[in-house]
Amino acid sequence: MKKTLLLTSLLLLSGCAASQTSEQNRQTITVSAAASLQDVLGDLEEKYEKEHQNIDIKFNYGASGSLANQIKAGAPVDLFFSAAQDKVDDLVREGEIKKDKQKTVLANHLVVVSEENLTQLTDLKSKTISKIAIGTPETVPAGAYAKEALEKSHLWSLLKDKLVYTKDVRQALTYTETGNVDAAIVYSTDTKNADLVIKDELHQPITYPLALIKENAENQQFYQYLQSETAKKVYESYGFTVK
């Protein structure tokens, strides 16, 4: 009996040690990505790690402008998946990204979410809409696109006092869901309950460039995977337009 218990203990210890060794040998890939990509990339992460047991993908989600600033400041990032081309272009100018190591992968659209029955942008002037959430335009691409659309619609100055600025597009959506605001301008992929789709011609094209920052075999392989036909099908299932 004692021998059996001893053998069982040794096997358990051996298994734990092997598991720890395997965990230590995994290669970490760090990806900074726009908050609007969180759901779809979570799905792709799970699929990729199942097929590549030696890879551990770590995502840092947030506003693309804030993430770009972190990269400039020296944050250890292997790939950057932005919700705006200008954030990547800026990093190319700064020498953080090589021009030929970035590719536009996706496109998106702006929508207005509200409990009110909105049929056009001018409905945001209604007295029933007292607070409107948008991402902070300086750092959140969705907020910059929203500002551009409101300016072209001659509504920015009229609605400015109603605006509530958020740290990213997901926070803007959350504010509507919790009743902290009466409306929010977010991406179409963030919600299935959009009242109003904002015309694309009112703002710059909403594109998502993917950039490879640190070049090694593992990073390169995941960079290619995020552009693969397999990944494209997943993007489309979440409502993104594949470029």
169 is in an annotated binding site: yes
At residue 89, the 3 state secondary structure works out as helix
The two tokens of residue 127 are 């007295």
Helix 38-51 to helix 229-237 angle (10° resolution) is 140
187 is in an annotated binding site: yes
140 burial level (CB within 10 Å; 0-12, 13-18, 19+): buried
Using only C-alpha atoms, the chain has a radius of gyration, in whole angstroms, of 22
At residue 29, the 3 state secondary structure works out as strand
* Spatial distance between the Cα atoms of 54 and 105, rounded to a whole number of angstroms: 26
Sorted by sequence, the CB contacts under 8 Å of residue 141 that are 6+ apart come out as 34, 63, 64, 65, 82, 83, 84, 87, 135, 169, 206
Backbone angles phi, psi at 4, to 5 degrees: -65, -45
31 is in an annotated binding site: no
* Spatial distance between the Cα atoms of 225 and 105, rounded to a whole number of angstroms: 11
64 is in an annotated binding site: yes
32 is in an annotated binding site: no
* Spatial distance between the Cα atoms of 202 and 80, rounded to a whole number of angstroms: 27
* Spatial distance between the Cα atoms of 64 and 139, rounded to a whole number of angstroms: 7
Annotated binding site for molybdate: 36, 64, 142, 169, 187
Annotated binding site: 36, 64, 142, 169, 187
